[in-house]
Amino acid sequence: MPRMPRPFRFLADARRIGSVAELTETARRAESIGIDTLVVPDHLIEQLSPVPAMAVIAAVSDRLRVGAFVLNNDLRHPAVLAQDLASLDVLSGGRLDVAIGAGWNRPEYEAIGLPFDPTPVRQRRLAEAISVLKGCFADGPFSFSGEHYTITDYAAYPKPVQRPHPPFLIGGGGRRTLTLAAREADIVGLAPRILPNGVGDPASVTYAGTAEKIGWVREAAGERFDQLELNVYPSMTAVSLTDHPRREAEELAERLTERSGVAISADEVLEAPHLFIGSVDGFVEKFIRLREELRITSFMVGEVDELAPVVERLAGT
């Protein structure tokens, strides 16, 4: 018997919110069109801090899940973060997703005097933090001794509603982080790779590049691969709902090639899982194809209304 496809899940971004009234309106609008999770970025820029923003979203909504997209592990000790996150899960009645990454935006580190360690160091620290978070969420006291964190007979409270822990979303564009996600996450976030010059690699967001990353995840996950949810998000350009996708794709292909030195064609732009340019019908067809062929079912769709007609067509299917 063929496997039933996993239903679509849509995430939307509340980064531009500046007041409780705006956040309430945004959350209720998100619920009305079929958004599953309203998320807040985690950056030291002009935005709300994610933890209090998530608490408000949970308080003013009935079914929305809440999360960051994604928490920068280097900005908080994982045991302190665990208390915040478990509290959110309790207060929301079990509607929290734990989305966390190794951190990537060097200027934020430099602005506050935080060392921006080499990628392998940040990745190892993330792996340890995930162990600490899961230890805090589990029953009873636990101990952990690692390169970056040491926990001794610590009984963390509160405990989350979702057991054994809320779903973890771990994302990345490189094999090392995706291997960690395959082994530890419930939701794997597929992200672009960053080139040595600091710009995104267009080859990594194409259909072929994404398929390669999913292959790494499948290999590392083994038997648990079928239980994983795969997520993609728009990157390298803004979401564009347009009646002229070919023209915009040609212009974007030229810009990305010039900026990165890596050639990408208009056809590759249009089919790329991370490049969101298309008509309503085009997006519907593209998302269905990505689910059928690559098993991608979780889509970050930008701000709430950017792809509202697409979400309304596919939500719940």
pLDDT digits (tens, 9 = 90+) for 45-88: 888 999 999 999 999 999 999 999 999 999 999 999 999 999 99
CB atoms within 10 A of CB 248: 18
Structure token pair of residue 102: 């190794």
Where b means 16+ CB within 10 Å and e means fewer, 167-178 reads: ebbbbbbbbebb
User: Domain map of the chain by residue range?
Assistant: 177-278
Tokens matching residue 14: 């509340």
pLDDT for 46: 85
- Do residues 37 and 97 touch, judged by C-beta distance below 8 A? yes
List phi, psi (to 5°) of 189: -90, 120
Say how far apart CA 274 and CA 300 lie, in whole Å. 10
Residue 2 has pLDDT above 60, yes or no: no
pLDDT of residue 1: 46
Q: What is the mean pLDDT of the chain?
A: 95
Backbone phi, then psi, for 137, in 5-degree steps?
Answer: -75, -20
Q: Which residue has the higher pLDDT, 247 or 46?
A: 247
Reported as a single tens digit per residue, the pLDDT across 179-234 is 999 999 999 999 998 888 878 899 999 999 999 999 999 999 999 999 999 999 99
What is the per-residue pLDDT across 255-289, written as a single tens digit (0 to 9) for each? 999 999 999 999 999 999 999 999 999 999 999 99
Rounded average pLDDT over 106-118:
95
What angle, 0 to 180 degrees and rounded to 10, lies between the N-to-C axes of helices 207-221 and 280-294? 30
Q: How confident is the model at residue 3 (pLDDT cuts 50, 70, 90)?
A: low
pLDDT at residue 148 in the model: 98
Helices (H), 34-77: 50-60
Indicate the pTM of the whole model.
0.94
Tens-digit pLDDT profile for residues 4-32: 789 999 999 998 877 899 999 999 999 99
Q: In which element (H, E) is residue 98 found? A: strand 98-101
